[in-house]
Structure 1
Amino acid sequence: MHNMNTLRGIDLNLLVVLDALLAERHVSRTAARLNMSQPAVSHALARLRHLFGDPLLIRRSGRLVPSARAREIAPVLTEALRQVREVLGPGGFDPAREKRAFRLAMSDYGSAVVLPDLLKKLRREAPGIDLAITQASREAMVQLVLDGECDLALGVFPDLPERIEAEQLFLEHFACLADREGLAGRGRLDLEAYLARPHMLVALKDEANTEIEMALRAIGHVRRVAVTLPHWGNAPRLIRGTDLVLTVARKALGGHERDPALVIFEPPFSIPSFPFVQVWHERRGGDPAHLWLRNAVARVSRSL
């Protein structure tokens, strides 16, 4: 009987606010997402706490953390609202009219490869959607998604925790880049020549043990890394006029194919291909705007 009385006291808008609060874990972000004022969201949270007889979200070290009851409610509520939206039909979500800010985490590789076409698509089809891009290590990006600080992360994530969903965007492989003059007319380097050269590594400081190093170690070799950079964007230009070799994800070199000073070639040893994916928290699954953005990312990635 208590449940029926609780249900009578709740209008659907309150449940929409609760669903957004549990996903965002932040009053101002929930307000922006729902196009409400912050006081209106705070007032809704107060009413929800009263109706459920539970704090729902507890403030801990400046962040809102869901209570045990809220964690229990979240998946059921998201699924119920998804079904309601389905019944109401597609008229409930219109990308052209959506006003929303999303936070995406990706490396500068992701920014260079996926972002140009994604931004064109957003400006054309959903001009009210704003993006804020952040960069961090793989582990940090997954943590941002887990904590609700990021809506979506793009990258290479071999190990994902529970409650994180993933979709492969494309399969990527490695390629090498070297100065044409330094190759003395050869189109590539064999393994011996590759190992004799100094190398440029693009990695964040906690990611120096890369796929390239692991692949070399598997065949009993180590290369000398003479230069380490945190961003690959400037790396190809720095190769010009040097004896350095850069080994990076192939799509990162797309704009340098026509550079007469540089040569792109296959690595002289086997490095496994890797899936480039987008990841999100399962609690975002039922949000139509989030789903639209994920589909937009997937579509532009497939056309690369």
Structure 2
Amino acid sequence: MNSLRGIDLNLLVVLEALLAERHISRAALRLQLSQPAVSHSLGRLRQLLDDQLLVRGQGGLVLTPRAHELAAPLAEALAQVRILLGPTGFQPSTARRTFRLAMSDYGALVVLPHLLRALRKAAPNVDLTVSQASREAMTAQVADGEVDLALGVFAYRPEDVRETPLFDDGYACVVDAATVRDSGRLDQVAYLARSHVAVANASERMDAIDTAVAKLGGRRKIACTVPHWSVAPALITGTNLVLTTVRSTLAAIADDARYAIFAPPFTLPDFSCGMLWHARAEADPGHAWLRERVQQAAAVAADMPRAAEAPISLRG
């Protein structure tokens, strides 16, 4: 590699954007540069590193093995440079910065509105870019420096990725109220006799609900699978479908007479929603400030009234 004296460090910022976006136009938009400027920088990077870095593959640009190797150390190096060259401390009212967050629409629905209101009030020039992926992909994005924070339910994290719990949550069932007018709920037999709406993505099809139902010796008949928690309740009205979903996502319909909300007719464990970030960001005052705001927003969300649940008696 050439001597540092001959390297334009701005090229590393361009490389960071290219490795994250894997698309020249999107990288240019992220950097607020022209597409030709980013293409020219990519050419210089290829010459500097003696590697193509991004090559055309099926569906678009893909990273070369060398580019994959560079992603994590590049993110760590730039994080330290930003801390070194940035102002001491962090002044929210005057700071200009964009943070990259990854979360499912569950996290976005529950935490993001409270977080964004707090940021617009305290730090009007701090912006958020929010993306969505599977929990495994979000963990990898934090590890590789592609995102600053990830919010969700995580089963695994690498040693250099930090996690803190935000709030606990659980499950509730939803049906059209007209279909359970007398009892306001379903027992196990009626639950399994109906068809269901499931919230899942392709990589997480077998979830805690299916596992619990399987222990009862049953199996849900899934009439519709959607990837978004927020849209699922709207699919229930006017049908005899059942939705088993996270309690906190039902706050908006808790007082809607069209829905009957009740506890599942079998045991489902509660779970914890957490926040991930990389150890390299520990010393970044701006990052620490954002983590505190996320925790505060999550605390506000946790204190919001939850969807009312009718008591339910299990029937063998």
Q: Residue in 2 aligned with 1:102?
A: 100
Instruction: Pick which of 247-256 and 209-218 moved more.
Output: 209-218
The answer to whether the 8 Å contact 1:153/1:278 transfers is: yes
The answer to whether the 8 Å contact 1:103/1:149 transfers is: no
Q: Residue in 2 aligned with 1:23?
A: none
Q: Which ranges of structure 1 fall in alignment gaps of 5 or more residues?
A: 1-28, 36-56, 66-77
The answer to whether the 8 Å contact 2:196/2:220 transfers is: no
- 1:269 paired with 2:275, answer no
Q: Deviation digits for residues 184-243 of structure 1, max 9, x if unmatched?
A: 321211111111x43434434321101101112223322211x33331222111101111
Q: Residue in 2 aligned with 1:203?
A: 199
The answer to whether the 8 Å contact 2:99/2:148 transfers is: no
Q: How many residues align?
A: 295
Decide whether aligned partners of structure 1 residues 156 and 246 sit closer, same or farther in structure 2, where only a CA change above 3 A counts: same
Q: Which amino acid aligns with 2:281?
A: R
Q: Pick from 113, 133, 142: which aligns with 2:131?
A: 133
Q: Which amino acid aligns with 1:216?
A: V
Q: Which amino acid aligns with 1:198?
A: R
Q: What is the CA distance between 1:298 and its match in structure 2?
A: 0.5
Give the whole-Å Cα distance in 2 for the aligned partners of 1:233 and 1:252: 7
SS at match of 2:274: strand
Q: Which ranges of structure 2 fall in alignment gaps of 5 or more residues?
A: 1-25, 33-52, 64-74, 302-316
What are the equivalent positions in structure 2 for 1:116-195 lying under 5 Å apart? 116-124=113-121, 125-134=123-132, 136-195=133-192
Q: Structure 2 length as normaliser, TM-score?
A: 0.68
Q: Deviation digits for residues 234-293 of structure 1, max 9, x if unmatched?
A: 211110111111000000000001111101111111100000011112212221111111
Q: Deviation digits for residues 105-150 of structure 1, max 9, x if unmatched?
A: 333x11111011111001004433333333x111111122122111
Q: Structure 1 length as normaliser, TM-score?
A: 0.70
Decide whether aligned partners of structure 1 residues 159 and 228 sit closer, same or farther in structure 2, where only a CA change above 3 A counts: farther
- Aligned CA-pair RMSD: 4.5
Give the whole-Å Cα distance in 1 for the aligned partners of 2:114 and 2:126: 17
Q: Residue in 1 aligned with 2:295?
A: 298
Give the whole-Å Cα distance in 2 for the aligned partners of 1:130 and 1:182: 42
The answer to whether the 8 Å contact 2:114/2:300 transfers is: no
Q: What is the CA distance between 1:33 and its match in structure 2?
A: 11
Q: Residue in 1 aligned with 2:224?
A: 228
SS at match of 2:167: strand
What are the equivalent positions in structure 2 for 1:208-287 lying under 5 Å apart? 208-225=205-222, 227-230=223-226, 231-287=228-284
Decide whether aligned partners of structure 1 residues 143 and 282 sit closer, same or farther in structure 2, where only a CA change above 3 A counts: same
